[in-house]
Amino acid sequence: MSSILAFDLGASSGRALLGRLVDGKIEVEELHRFSNDPVQVGNRLYWDILRLYHEIKQGLLKAKHQGINLQSMAIDSWAVDFGFIGKDGELVGNPYHYRDQHTEGAMESLFAQVPPSVIFARTGIQFLPFNTIYQLYALKQAKSPLLKDGNRLLMIPDLLRYFLTGEIHNEFSNATTTQLYNPIEGKWDSELLRLLELPQSWFGEVLKPGSKAGMLQSSVCEELSIPSIPVYAVAEHDTGSAVAAVPATEKSFAYLSCGTWSLMGTEVNKPVINDLAQKLNFTNEGGVAGTYRLLKNIMGLWILQECRREWERAGKSYSFPELVQMAADAKSFSSFIDPDDSSFLAPGDMPSRIASYCKQTGQQAPESHGEIVRCILESLALKYRYVLELTERISGQSFSGLHMVGGGIQNTLLCQWTANAIGKPVWAGPSEGSAIGNLVVQWIAQGDFADIWEARKAIKDSFPITVYDTEESEAWDDAYGRFCVLTGLTE
């Protein structure tokens, strides 16, 4: 029986998922799971890229030790971050973490040189302060030696693939997130590169999801005592892989990829680049089979994760099920936050920031840990409604419900509250959406599925989908009105 391997690197953990096709159904097995922790050095926050590469090799070793005959592998990860390869073929420096503060003020400074309307018209990508374009601009402003020594820019999965294969390629879905790729022209935007004085030579061939991107090189095979296998470029932005795994049966569907970040939107055949999309700060990221993901980023469970870390530092440890139960026991609709307020972006004392936000907006700050968790989860559910309504408006579609995928769906309270908030059913599953999307794109490339829709049907038939119907709609409608007023959301 042939097996394939998906390495899915999330913002807080990574996993190696083994995939098999048995009688038309997908079977998966987690071979390896590991933490993905950024490293603070002085005032800088880095990704531990060599540790991640080490863990990928551990996943390959575990497959070998279990006698598994691998047919192929692929990697997906978060977006926007990158590393440089020098002329000697070696890594130049450690990749910065997107939450590092070196980009503070970079976006606004660049706008003085290149108007945001020009950037959006040429890329269709939403304005986020950590986008690759602003990271590069910040490095230029700081006269970083990385720019002098770097010869090729590789996004995180590109970089890890390079370590494995020795071949240098960029991949489409992650390239589009840089805000330097022109989806209309289908290539890196030469005008933006000229305006920013960035060398065109840094940016190479862009592979479509499903392209073969090389073979495991001999040094890796000798080190691990394994045979060489193909390494594919899938939808290497993990959200692109998660959307590929949405078990939709209708061409018009809304999705929420729920984890450290929440990403909500719909799949479109061509990018939506107009004044309304720019005004509402929507994005058009590359997807599978030539599609685009018209979506909006929402801060997600990051805020809860940071609260949990802060409480652990203070000596109080909670499991996530305990946090959910504490929220369920707390009083409803006592206070709200806008999860996307800039104060919640950086790591730190999130409970204090939530209290400050509530006081600044004329609310009573949540006090107990359960009240804080309830505030976060209710606010997320209400923000999901806000963004879903914007998605319908900007796409001209009306959605009958919402597909939720990703690890966040294990929080059943959030799923139920999301259904309550949007007033429509939520279909939750699969939880390992990014890894499963990674697998099915490999299978499509190898001819096991005819296209993404056949793959989505197999996903629907292979994994349980939990349906959450709307409850307490009147109370949630009232809460939504208050939420919009208190957070200043008027669109």
In the block, which residue shows the tokens 């020594």?
A: 149
Bridge-based pairing of strands 91-92 and 254-258 is unpaired
DSSP run (H or E) holding 296? strand 292-298
Quickly list H helices, 48-200.
49-65, 106-111, 116-123, 132-141, 145-149, 156-165, 172-176, 190-195
Known catalytic residue: 238?
yes
Among candidate residues 8, 76, 158, 238, the one labeled active-site is 238
Q: Where are the alpha helices (DSSP H) in 214-329?
A: 218-224, 238-244, 275-279, 302-313, 320-329
Distance CA 322, CA 437 (A): 30
44-46 and 283-286 beta bridge pairing:
unpaired
Helix and strand numbers (H, E) in the chain are 19, 22
- Measure the CA–CA gap between 92 and 83, rounded to whole angstroms: 7
What is the residue whose two structure tokens read 């494995």? 164
Query: How far is 53 from 55, CA to CA, in rounded Å?
Result: 5
Residues involved in catalysis? 238
